[in-house]
Amino acid sequence: MIRVLLVDDHSLFVSGLKTLLKVSGIAVVGMAKDGVEALLAVRELQPDVVLMDIQMSGCDGLTATRLIKAEFPDIKVVILTMIDEDQLVCEAIQSGASGFLLKNLEAEALLTMLEDVVKGEMVFSPGLTKRLLQGFVTSQNGKFPAGSVSGAKTGNPLTPRQKEVLIHIAHGQTYKEVAADLNISGNTVKYHMNEILERLHLENRVQAVAYAVQANLTVANEWEQN
C-alpha cells in the first residue's frame, strides 16, 4: 500500500483529497500545512510519497522539497498545485521533485501517477512535459551526460519503434496512452523506454525527452508521420 503525506494549507482541498486516496486504497499517513511541518512529518512518518503544494505561508513547497530530499533522498516528492508556470516546473525538478501535477488533474490519472512515481518514474500533468524539457534544454545549453547525444548518432541509433515511443512520450503522453495509441502493452512501452535510456546513455525519462526536443523529434511533421 502506498503511504502518502499531504502538504497543503487549504483544509477543504486536503480533506477531499484524503477521502479520495483512502477510498482508492492509498494510506494517508499524515497532513501538514507548511514546509516546516512537512519536514517534521516526514522524519516521523517516513511516507513513500509527499504530495506538496507550492504556495504556503512560512516555508514554501519548493524549499520544503529541497530540505526533504537532502535528508531523505529516497522519499518521492510530487508537486501538486494550481500554478501552471514553466519556471516553477523547472525549479521543482531542480529541487528534487519527482513530478509536477496540477490540481485540475482527473482523479484516475492522479492515482495512476502515484503508482508510477513509486516505481521510480517522473510524472507530469498532460501538456507540461514538452514545455518542461524545452526549458531544460535551453537552461542546460544543450548539455547532456557524456556520450548521450554523440553515442546515439554514432553507433547506438534508436530503432523505428523506439523512436516512435519516444516521440509519443515527448508529447506528454503517459505510458498507458502510448500503449493504447501504438496497440502494445504498457510493459512493452516500459521495455522500450529502458532500451532508449541505455542506448542514449541517459538516466531517466526527463533526459530522454530533453534529447527528443533537442533532436527535433517533437516537431509537428515528425509527430504526424509516426
Q: Cα–chain-centroid distance for residue 162?
A: 20
Mean pLDDT of all residues in 31-52 = 96
Mean pLDDT of all residues in 166-177 = 82
Residue 140 sits in the same domain as residue 119: no
Q: Which of residues 75, 106, 125 is at a domain's end?
A: 125
Largest Cα–Cα distance of the chain, in whole Å? 55
b/e code 22-35 from CB counts within 10 Å (16+ = b) = eeeebebbbbbbbb
154 confidence band (pLDDT: 50, 70, 90): very low
On the question of pLDDT at 150 being above 80, the answer is no
Range of the domain at 203: 136-225
Residue 120 sits in the same domain as residue 145: no
Mean pLDDT of all residues in 152-176 = 76
Q: Which of residues 99, 125, 151 is at a domain's end?
A: 125
Residue 66 sits in the same domain as residue 140: no
149 confidence band (pLDDT: 50, 70, 90): very low
CA-nearest of 15, 12, 41 to 29 is: 41
Residue 20 sits in the same domain as residue 81: yes
Q: Which of residues 78, 98, 125 is at a domain's end?
A: 125
Alpha-carbon distance values, 92 to 69, 178, 204 (Å): 12, 25, 16
CATH classification of the domain holding 67: 3.40.50.2300
Q: Cα–chain-centroid distance for residue 53?
A: 15
In this structure, is residue 196 part of a structural domain?
Answer: yes
Integer Cα distance of 152 and 212 in angstroms: 11
